[in-house]
Amino acid sequence: MKLLVVGSVAFDAIETPFGKTDKILGGAATYITLASSVLGVDSGIVSIVGGDFPQSDLDMLSRRGVNIEGIEIVKDGKTFFWSGKYHNDLNSRDTLVTEVNVLEHFDPKIPASMQDAEILLLGNLHPAVQMTVLERMTNRPQVVILDTMNFWMDSAWDDLMRVIAKTDVITINDEEARQLSGEYSLVKAAKKIHEMGPDFVIIKKGEHGALLFHDGKIFAIPALPLEEVFDPTGAGDTFAGGFASYLAKKEDFSFETMKSALSVGSAMASFTVEKFGTERLQEITESEIVARINNFKDLTTFEVNV
C-alpha cells in the first residue's frame, strides 16, 4: 500500500543540553517519510519549500524511494524555519522561532502518481491545509491519520474540529489530548476525542510511551528506556511514520495490527532521538529496527501465575 504524507519540509535549528545545530534538515513530512523508507514502504510528500532548500536533500529523499513530485519549490521564497530549545529533562521544549515563510500561502496539490494512496497521513500543519488535501483526493483513502499540536488548538479551533471529524486515527500527545478534550484523565480524554470523529485515538506520552484507544479497549506500549537521549525533535513524527508504514505493509487496519504498529513507531522513534535531527534515521537499516522491536517484546512480555 502507498502512504501519502502532507506536512512541513523544513529547516530546524535545535538546542539541547548536549549541543546546538545551525539550520539542518527537518520538518514533519521529512521525519515521517524517512521512517517509511527504512521499512521499504512507498511514500510521497505534499509540501512546499523555498529556493533556499538544498537540491541534495531532495535528492536524498528521492534516492530513498520517497516520491517528491508533490513538493512545490518557490524559487524566490524561503523554506519554513523552526527553532527550539529543550529543557534539561528533554521532555519539554520552548519554541524560539517559527518562520512560516512559503507555508503561509501553501495551496497543496496532489500529484496524479499519489492519488491512489490507500493511507493518508495528515502531518502537523494548519488544519485547513490538511482538510484541503483530504478534499483533493479523488477517492477517499482507506485510512486517514491525523497528527496535530496545541498551536492549532489555540489558533484554528474550528478548522481543527472539521478535519478531526473526517479522521480515522488521531495521534496527539498527553498535554494536547487534555487541552483538546478538557479532561485530565487520559481515558476520559480519549472518549471525548472519539466523539469528535476518530475511531482510534493514540496518545503519546514522550519517554513514557503511548496509549491506543479503540472501541472501549486500551493498549499501552512503553518507550524503550535509552541510555542516551540526544535530541527528541521529530520523535512524534517518526512514531507516526513508523506506525502508518507498518499498516501499509500489513494492508490491515484492525486493532491487533495497530497494536503492533505502535511498537514499530516506538522503535523507530527511539532511533531518531539518538542523534541530532534526521541523522540517525538516515543511517538505520531494517535489521536494526527488527532487533529493536524484539527488545520491546523482551521488555514487555511476562508470565504470571497467581
**Nearer to ligand AMP among residue 197 and residue 241 (C-beta):** 241
Q: Are 14 and 83 in contact (CB under 8 A)?
A: yes
Minimum CB separation of residue 238 from ligand AMP in Å reads 7
Interaction residues for ligand AMP, span 242-301 (CB under 6 A): none
CA separation for the pair 221, 268 (Å, rounded): 13
> Considering the complex, what minimum distance in angstroms separates the CB of residue 162 from ligand AMP?
18
Regarding 53 and contact with ligand AMP (CB under 6 A), the answer is no
Total binding residues toward ligand AMP, as defined by CB under 6 A: 16
Supply 199's cell numbers.
Answer: 475511531
Q: 134-140, long-range: CB within 8 Å, 24+ apart, which pairs?
A: 134/163, 134/166, 136/108, 136/109, 136/110, 137/4, 137/110, 139/115
| Closer Cβ to ligand AMP, 221 or 240, answer by number | 240
CA distances from 94 to 30, 50, 79 (A): 21, 25, 21
Please, what is the minimum distance in Å from the beta carbon of residue 228 to ligand AMP? 18
Tally of helices (H runs) and strands (E runs) in the chain: 11, 14
> Which residue type occupies 109?
K
Q: Does 13 contact ligand AMP by CB under 6 A? A: no
In the sheet with 169-173, reading across from the earlier edge strand, the strands are: 66-74, 43-50, 3-6, 119-122, 143-147, 169-173, 200-204, 210-214, 217-221
Pairing, β 169-173 against β 200-204: parallel
Examine residue 213 and tell whether it contacts ligand AMP (CB under 6 A): no
Nearer to ligand AMP, 1 or 131 (CB): 131
Report DSSP state, residue 147. E
Q: Which of 98, 115, 179, 282 binds ligand AMP (CB under 6 A)?
A: 98
Question: How far apart are CB 305 and ligand AMP at their closest, in Å?
Answer: 41
Chosen residue from 206, 236, 242, 265 binding ligand AMP by CB under 6 A: 236
**Residue 91 engages ligand AMP in binding (rule: CB under 6 A):** no
User: Binding string to ligand AMP for residues 134 to 153, with x set by CB under 6 A, is what?
Assistant: -----------------x--
Q: Which residues bind to ligand AMP, rule: CB under 6 A?
A: 8, 10, 12, 26-28, 82, 98, 124-125, 151, 233-237
